[in-house]
Amino acid sequence: MFYDCFSLEEIKFLNINTKKVKNMSYMFCGCSSLEKLDLSNFDTNEVTDMNCMFHGCSSLEKLNLSNFNTNNVTDMRYMFNKCSSLEELNLSNFNTNKVTKMNGMFNECSLLKKLNLSNFETKNVNNMSYIFYGCSSLEELNLSNFNTKNVIDMNGMFYGCSSLKELNLSNFNTKKVDGMQYMFYKCSSKKKN
């Protein structure tokens, strides 16, 4: 819808009706000048695809998705990819029960310091490759609720998470994983747990 609108700084959604929308993939992709985005009146009840939704929104400093209903979403690949100005992201309201793809979801969110994934359900996810790639400002990451029993790809999962001080993966099930290349590459501050 706004793909590659790289000069757009603000969008006002006054009367938008998204009740029947099923696909929001690439919706704001490449909106690199977008500084504000109010999606409080977005109805996402029917949405199944949020792939690359905010990809490349590199000027976006705040993003409130507390009203998002993600009950039917199956694809969240690269959803926040290169949102390099975001410092905080609270996704505790996200229902990820049906999601199968999360690869690159927070890829290169280099200023992200706080990330709340406390209610993430990942039992159906098969791809987590590069999910936290380049999140170089993250000092904490609680993945104690992550269910990885169906994950096949974990390549580059924490690549470049150079500020992470501790990471508890004791609950990770890696029986089906066939790719772990560069999983912890450049995690220079991390203590093993």
Vertex 82, ends 104 and 17: CA angle to 5°? 90
State the pLDDT at residue 58: 97
Q: Is the pLDDT of residue 159 over 60?
A: yes
Handedness of CA 6, 8, 11, 16 (dihedral sign): negative
Q: Which of 159, 149, 69, 83 is nearest to 115 (CA)?
A: 83
Q: How much is the mean pLDDT over the chain?
A: 93
Distance from C-alpha of 187 to C-alpha of 91, rounded to nearest angstrom: 24
For residue range 100-134, list pLDDT tens digits in order: 999 999 999 999 999 999 889 999 999 999 999 99
Distance of CA 105 to the CA centre of its chain: 3
Distance from C-alpha of 89 to C-alpha of 143, rounded to nearest angstrom: 15
Q: Is the pLDDT of residue 189 over 80?
A: no
144 vs 25, which has greater pLDDT?
Answer: 25
Distance from C-alpha of 85 to C-alpha of 120, rounded to nearest angstrom: 23
Contact 38, 47 (CB under 8 A): no
Rg (CA), the chain: 16
State the pLDDT at residue 6: 85
Distance from C-alpha of 44 to C-alpha of 40, rounded to nearest angstrom: 11
State the pLDDT at residue 147: 95
Q: Is the pLDDT of residue 192 over 80?
A: no
Q: Is the pLDDT of residue 190 over 70?
A: no
Q: What is the pTM of this model?
A: 0.92
State the pLDDT at residue 130: 97
Confidence of residue 193 (pLDDT cuts 50, 70, 90): very low
Q: Is the pLDDT of residue 4 over 50?
A: yes
Confidence of residue 9 (pLDDT cuts 50, 70, 90): confident
